[in-house]
Structure 1
Amino acid sequence: MPVASTYTAPVGFNMAHADEIAKLCYERFNRLPRRGKPEPGREWTLLAAVVQITRCADSDTVEKEVVSLGTGTKCIGQTAMSPKGDILNDSHAEVIARRGCIRYLIQELHRAVSGGTSSVFCPADQRGKWRLRPGVSLLFFTSHTPCGDAAIIPMIDSQSQPCPPVTSVKSHEGTDGRGGQKREAEVPSEGKHVKRPRLEGQETDLCDGGDAKQSLLSNSPKNENPSQSQPAKTPGPSDSAGPHPQVLDVHRTGAKCVSGGPADPLRPGVGYHSTGVLRVKPGRGEPTRSLSCSDKLARWGVLGFQGALLSHYLQEALYFSTVVVGECPYSQEVMQRALVTRCSHVTDLPAGFSVCPPELLQSGLEFPFSQAQTELRHQAGQGRISSCGAAISWCNVPERPLDVTANGYKHGVTKKALGTAGARSLLCKLELFHSFLSVVAATDPEALPDSLRRTELKTYWDFKHASHSYQQAWQQLHSQAFPLWPRSDRHLLLFH
């Protein structure tokens, strides 16, 4: 049963109250089975979720319901990507939550085109098109600032300086043999006294924890602004307890700048990173092809989070009204830069698309399985602390709502089963494509959107590129804001 919360909102109350949203998402996680969850005191993970907000038209009653939840910290390497669309490339929590939401929306759309009642969609003006029901909005929650640009947060004199990320166990836990790469979270929040594992002889697997060797050397008060990057600015009042904080450094992100643009200067202090640039999710060993979660959230603020396939059926793109971040190192200014400012100047978008920045909020509630909380609860004899190898997806669908994966496949699948339907994640491109095709098949031919009336549509690539308005919007975003965003290889999208 879904976890929902119903209450009467007083006048002026923000529906997306951050602590209530965080609590709702953590409760939904707690109700999940044990499978795929971190080992308490030894493993940590990140959590993200999509919350559906429904305001009743005749009252101030608001219902909040988690419709998709995801955990995870890893990506696969580029050589492990499959031309069959049967492997989950990016298993960061934010991506898992968004893809689970797509599963939920496809189900709701299937119900709508089949003549049933959907809690999300109602008919739009154009033939074959649908839109959100009045009073319905969707909110995004993440337990930690997204990796990439949003993680480059100024540190002030009251905060601890950067320190090495928690080590991963050597050999098979650093990479998975198929190119799986870990994500490490930033330094824990200020004021927390954290015990850390021993550092000698360790091998680190890097993402938002930064570079271990550089971090040990970077406790310098020098304020050097790098070339090709914006200087770090002093945080606002919400970022500091002191009246005149001094910015000494920035939190590190392990996400690497995309090729062809500004690189990280790697200077001590605030000169370590370039800011406002596209970044690829990292790891030791083979590179990934996955853009950072900061970049993806910024993209969703222009193109919508529904993707190209659902855009066939939607009169308007779907945007998150709000992004709520759990308790962690946080800067409102940096979140604004990473998720909003980089795309705020984009113009000439087709009908149904707009620059739609979300409201940005932070909760004071920390995820119990965060890296910082795991370090606090770590006991002698438990072994080294590491990120959890599994990724969990739960979404509000009647059939198989839970999907637990590792290394891009179903958790626990044997090598012999790889390549079979039973090994596939329900969130992989192929599975979502087949679910979308079931919606097309269930649609009355007279009610099909014009873009789906072409008989030559066969492959995933064909259906994506037939979504003309979405592709036009993406071209405007690409040319005006993200010219270095890598294009997907066509040979990886020709499955059917």
Structure 2
Amino acid sequence: MTPRPVTPAWDRELVMRRTISDCKVLEGKHPVSALVEYADACRVVARFKEEAKWNPPYCQTYTMRAYIGDRMLAEGTGGSKKVARRKAAEASLDMLKFSSVSLTMSESLTFHDKIAKLCHEKFDTVVADIPVYLADWKVLAGVVMESKTNKTFEVISLASGSRFITGDALTTDGQVLVDSHAEILASRGMKRFFYHHIKKICMGQKSNILQIGGQGKVELASDIELHLYISTAPCGDGALFTHSAGLSVGENGHNPTFGNKKQGLLRTKLEQSEGQSPTPKVIQQYQDMNALRCGKRLRVMSCSDKLCKWNLLGVQGALLANMMEPVYFSSITLGTLYNHGHMARAMCCRLEKNCPIGSLPHGYKVNHPLLGTVSRKTAPQRSVKKLTHSVNWNSADGCPEMTDGTTGLLHNSGYSKTTLTTTKSRLCKRELLRSYNEIGTDVGLRTLVKNDYLATKQTSTQYQRCKKSLYAALHSQGYGTWLGLPRECQEFSTSPNCFPSYRAPR
């Protein structure tokens, strides 16, 4: 009998078509047999490989890794090879069952289905070379760029993560990531994408993404729109009340829910705490560095509040606001915990609950993006534990990077295809400032780069004026005070001599 040819690559479409039916058929079987049968149905080979790890004689354990084709799925550890093999198969099947629910949509995809599907598929491609036990995630976020002219969609930035830095790891040199929640990292990766295309324009090259606007700044091309995907509701006001209110489908317009005085409040992620507490009602807007050094817990504004901020100030940030017009998301898609009334309030509508915000600088507005969720009814999360590491990727850099959310530095996992010469992430303030510095020098805006990072952000006068309007609107409606990081964390020098060489993993 002629052996059936084996497909060496991960046949993604075939796997997606078979996943749901196969996983149901395989229930009740031994995990190893189930994985082998599943692989055979997908026309690839399942195998197990022992991972050599040193163990003391009195504590002998074995580690086995499961593969389908050339892709590693998961690993398992046990007192014997048989037990380790079974655990590796169980973990692999769990991952495949998740993929069947989260990636396989109905035959007629909705707009939000399509955005979610693109992000999940791209993430699987990005982390294909990272072991599953490292690339696993709890929250995934991505930015998708749509070209109306070409009718195409492209993922430009992705990130996973659900942690933020501890107070004792804060530095005053701008070389750590403070907030490693997925949507925050995805937005920072998008900034890398913007810098890349602005550099192209500065070099006289054509960009199909950005163009020179009427105010002399770059802006998104008229046919380009950006869409944000988050696998679950953003922490804070957008997620806090969803369970008690139940789920609701998306609506054409925004119909926000204002049920009680607690809804709409500014909230912070609190160090060593799972909840998001309202911001303290104080006039001081910056946390005290000395207090944090002495053990006071760090507070970081919730993702719902940051998204609300972006829907007024734009997602480009203060530095890029000197070079480009405000950029807004056209839509926000959630994978789980979607409630239209709570999302509409948290994302934008609370800004103008009682009265419209006064006159805003040119280009700025209260953005009301299209809100919605995927059409599936069940949505398990990829990881049951809160992992400390995060993965980020953007199309400008073209390679994944792994960081530790609690330290804000590159993850100490050994994952890298080249030797790292630094411990800082390409998404940290220092590296984004480097790109701003380089472009400012090229286009004659070097005078906008002041002695320190905070002063440099202050040069964006229209952005800062709009930010004051944001804080005033939130505070006047009783939502609380925006609590910032210690000023010392943003007052690091902008001198070119303060930028050590950086080489990212490829």
Partner of 1:297: 307
Q: TM-score scaled by structure 2?
A: 0.62
C-alpha contact 1:43 1:387 (8 A) present in aligned 2: no
CA distance in 1: counterparts of 2:183 and 2:451, whole angstroms: 30
**Secondary structure at the counterpart of residue 125 of structure 1:** coil
CA distance in 2: counterparts of 1:365 and 1:15, whole angstroms: 10
C-alpha contact 1:36 1:390 (8 A) present in aligned 2: no
Q: Does 1:463 align with 2:456?
A: yes
**Secondary structure at the counterpart of residue 386 of structure 1:** coil
Identity rate of aligned residues, in percent?
A: 29
The one-character-per-residue Cα deviations of 1:220-277 (angstroms, maximum 9, x if unpaired) are xxxxx9984359xxxxxxxxxxxxxxxxxxxx9711111118xxxxxxxxxxxxxxxx
Extract unaligned runs of 5+ from structure 1. Answer: 1-13, 160-188, 191-224, 232-251, 262-284, 375-384, 415-419
Give runs of aligned pairs for residues 365-380 of structure 1, distance below 5 A.
365=376, 370-371=380-381, 374=383
CA distance in 1: counterparts of 2:110 and 2:169, whole angstroms: 39
Deviation of residue 469 (structure 1)? 0.5
CA distance in 2: counterparts of 1:88 and 1:479, whole angstroms: 27
Deviation of residue 401 (structure 1)? 3.1
Q: Does 1:355 align with 2:366?
A: yes
Partner of 2:472: 479
Deviation of residue 78 (structure 1)? 2.7
CA distance in 2: counterparts of 1:144 and 1:136, whole angstroms: 25
Partner of 2:486: 489
Give the superposed CA RMSD.
3.2
Matched to 1:27, the amino acid is E
**Secondary structure at the counterpart of residue 142 of structure 2:** strand
What is the aligned counterpart of 1:20 among 109, 114, 122?
A: 114
C-alpha contact 2:391 2:401 (8 A) present in aligned 1: yes
Distance 1:36 1:97, change over 3 A: farther
CA distance in 1: counterparts of 2:440 and 2:377, whole angstroms: 42
Deviation of residue 287 (structure 1)? 2.9
Matched to 2:340, the amino acid is Q
Matched to 1:338, the amino acid is A
CA distance in 2: counterparts of 1:88 and 1:425, whole angstroms: 7
Deviation of residue 82 (structure 1)? 0.9
The one-character-per-residue Cα deviations of 1:341-390 (angstroms, maximum 9, x if unpaired) are 2113322211121111111011135898x53x55xxxxxxxxxx412221
Distance 1:441 1:393, change over 3 A: same
The one-character-per-residue Cα deviations of 1:283-308 (angstroms, maximum 9, x if unpaired) are xx963331111000011000001000
Matched to 1:395, the amino acid is N
Give runs of aligned pairs for residues 80-479 of structure 1, distance below 5 A.
80-127=169-216, 129-155=217-243, 228-230=261-263, 254-260=275-281, 287-314=297-324, 316-326=325-335, 328-344=336-352, 345-365=356-376, 370-371=380-381, 374=383, 385-397=384-396, 399=397, 401-406=399-404, 407-412=407-412, 422-443=422-443, 445=444, 448=445, 453-454=447-448, 457-479=450-472
**Secondary structure at the counterpart of residue 392 of structure 1:** strand
Partner of 1:214: none
Distance 1:472 1:87, change over 3 A: same
CA distance in 2: counterparts of 1:147 and 1:386, whole angstroms: 17
The one-character-per-residue Cα deviations of 1:19-55 (angstroms, maximum 9, x if unpaired) are 0111000000110235667539x96410001111111
Distance 1:472 1:400, change over 3 A: same
**Secondary structure at the counterpart of residue 295 of structure 1:** helix
Deviation of residue 491 (structure 1)? 1.7
CA distance in 2: counterparts of 1:16 and 1:104, whole angstroms: 27
C-alpha contact 1:50 1:139 (8 A) present in aligned 2: yes
The one-character-per-residue Cα deviations of 1:150-204 (angstroms, maximum 9, x if unpaired) are 11234469x7xxxxxxxxxxxxxxxxxxxxxxxxxxxxx99xxxxxxxxxxxxxx
C-alpha contact 2:110 2:374 (8 A) present in aligned 1: no
Q: TM-score scaled by structure 1?
A: 0.63
Partner of 2:17: none
Give the structure with the larger helix fraction. 2
Q: Choose 1 or 2 for highest CA Rg.
A: 2
Matched to 2:401, the amino acid is D
C-alpha contact 2:305 2:346 (8 A) present in aligned 1: yes
C-alpha contact 1:68 1:98 (8 A) present in aligned 2: yes
Deviation of residue 18 (structure 1)? 0.3
Extract unaligned runs of 5+ from structure 2. Answer: 1-107, 249-257, 265-272, 283-294, 415-419, 495-506
C-alpha contact 1:22 1:365 (8 A) present in aligned 2: no
C-alpha contact 2:141 2:230 (8 A) present in aligned 1: yes
C-alpha contact 1:143 1:367 (8 A) present in aligned 2: no
Distance 1:73 1:154, change over 3 A: closer
C-alpha contact 1:36 1:404 (8 A) present in aligned 2: no
Partner of 1:74: 163
